[in-house]
């Protein structure tokens, strides 16, 4: 993998520092619940299609009392796309070299009143450069006020950068996180964006603000709901809801399918799957 240039290094450093802050906050929540759970970190390396070293990442995972299963991956990879794949990636049609750095997070929660959540932001380099990412909330037992609070934080982050972002990116999330075979949404949405090209600085600033918005939005929801009593019916609802989450990720999620079918790190890719799920 080529040495990182200044933009790539800046993005990578941000994603890693965001990971550190998120994991520290999630561990702090575990302490508040009287648990000693910690993230365990597993580094992995990637071999490029050329046979050269192709970067790698660190998979962080915690099995806690509040966070039944949470994974936070950071990865920084590069090399050459396969010929077939290069044709489908902007800017790689003529020159298959690429670089990608990003963070991805999925949290499945023990208490059915606490929503599951997904967040991912990334910076891609081919002959073009762009940011992408988003965050979406997946409550088995949805509360309007939780959805509103989560969306408000994301809207505020969007509005600081472009008055059109929130509407466009929230709709993109609604369109993307959709199970056509059941005609239902995966959750209650959030934002999704991709191909954010142009000047590096403002796009990087927006992507950082999405991470900050996630940190402002999710932990308060966890703290608010994690002590709520629940019954067997709530737990049934959670396990069935997680089944829909599995269906989405294995049937439709582009990142999952791409990763699995091109020899990515299976443990890191499938870390998104829930600890337990039910199909009636």
> Of 10-18, 89-97, 132-140, 267-275, which part binds its own copies (CB under 8 A)?
267-275
> Per rule CB under 8 A, is residue 89 in the interface with its own copies?
no
Closest of 190, 199, 195 to residue 166, by C-alpha:
190
Residue 71, H or E segment: strand 69-80
Judged by CB, which is closer to its own copies: 224, or 278?
Answer: 278
> Of 96-104, 144-152, 168-176, 261-269, which part binds its own copies (CB under 8 A)?
261-269
> Per rule CB under 8 A, is residue 257 in the interface with its own copies?
yes
**DSSP assignment string, 158-223:** HHTT-TTHHHHHHHHHHHHSEETTTTEESSS-EEEEEEE-S-HHHHHHHHHHHHHHHHHHHHHHHH
> Per rule CB under 8 A, is residue 266 in the interface with its own copies?
yes
Judged by CB, which is closer to its own copies: 18, or 271?
Answer: 271
Q: How are beta strands 97-108 and 129-138 bridged, if at all?
A: unpaired
> Per rule CB under 8 A, is residue 258 in the interface with its own copies?
no
Residue of 42, 182, 195, 228 interacting with its own copies (CB under 8 A): 182
Judged by CB, which is closer to its own copies: 89, or 270?
Answer: 270
Q: How many CB atoms lie within 10 A of CB 159?
A: 13
Give the up-direction half-sphere exposure of residue 139: CA atoms within 13 A in the CB hemisphere.
20
Q: Single out the catalytic residue among 108, 118, 151, 181.
A: 118
Length of the chain: 280
Cα–Cα distance between 36 and 103 in angstroms, integer? Answer: 25
Judged by CB, which is closer to its own copies: 49, or 273?
Answer: 273
Q: Helix axis angle, 200-225 relative to 144-159, nearest 10°?
A: 160
Please indicate whether residue 113 is annotated as part of the active site: no
Three-state DSSP at 1 gives: coil
> Per rule CB under 8 A, is residue 254 in the interface with its own copies?
no
Residue of 35, 178, 246, 255 interacting with its own copies (CB under 8 A): 246
By CB under 8 A, how many residues form the interface with its own copies? 24
Q: How many CB atoms lie within 10 A of CB 135?
A: 25
Judged by CB, which is closer to its own copies: 148, or 276?
Answer: 276
State the DSSP code for 116.
Answer: E
Residue of 84, 181, 231, 254 interacting with its own copies (CB under 8 A): 181
Residues catalogued as catalytic: 118
- Please give the residue ranges that form the binding site for its own copies (CB under 8 A): 69, 180-182, 239, 243, 246-247, 250-251, 257, 260-261, 263, 266, 270, 273-280
């Amino acid at each position: 993998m080529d040495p990182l240039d200044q933009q790539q290094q800046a993005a990578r450093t941000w994603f890693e520092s965001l990971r550190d802050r998120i994991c520290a906050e999630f561990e702090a929540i575990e302490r508040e619940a009287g648990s000693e759970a910690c993230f365990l970190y597993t580094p992995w390396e990637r071999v490029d299609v050329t046979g050269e070293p192709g970067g790698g990442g660190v998979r962080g995972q915690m099995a806690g009392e509040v966070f039944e299963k949470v994974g936070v991956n950071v990865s920084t990879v590069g090399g050459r796309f396969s010929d077939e794949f290069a044709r489908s990636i902007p800017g790689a049609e003529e020159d298959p070299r690429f670089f990608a750095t990003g963070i991805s997070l999925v949290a499945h929660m023990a208490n059915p009143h606490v929503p599951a959540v997904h967040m991912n932001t990334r910076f891609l380099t081919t002959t073009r450069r762009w940011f992408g990412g988003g965050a979406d909330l997946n409550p088995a037992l949805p509360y309007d006020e939780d959805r509103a609070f989560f969306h408000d934080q994301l809207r505020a982050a969007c509005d600081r950068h472009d008055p059109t972002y929130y509407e466009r990116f929230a709709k993109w999330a609604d369109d993307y996180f959709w199970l056509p075979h059941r005609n239902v949404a995966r959750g209650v949405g959030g934002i999704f964006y991709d191909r954010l090209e142009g000047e590096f600085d403002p796009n990087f600033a927006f992507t950082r603000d999405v991470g900050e918005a996630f940190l402002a939005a999710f932990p308060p929801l966890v703290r608010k709901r994690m002590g709520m009593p629940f019954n067997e019916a709530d737990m049934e609802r959670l396990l069935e809801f997680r089944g829909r989450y599995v269906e989405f990720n294995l049937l439709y999620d582009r990142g999952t399918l791409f990763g699995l079918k091109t020899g990515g790190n299976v443990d890191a890719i499938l870390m998104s799957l829930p600890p337990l799920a039910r199909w009636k």
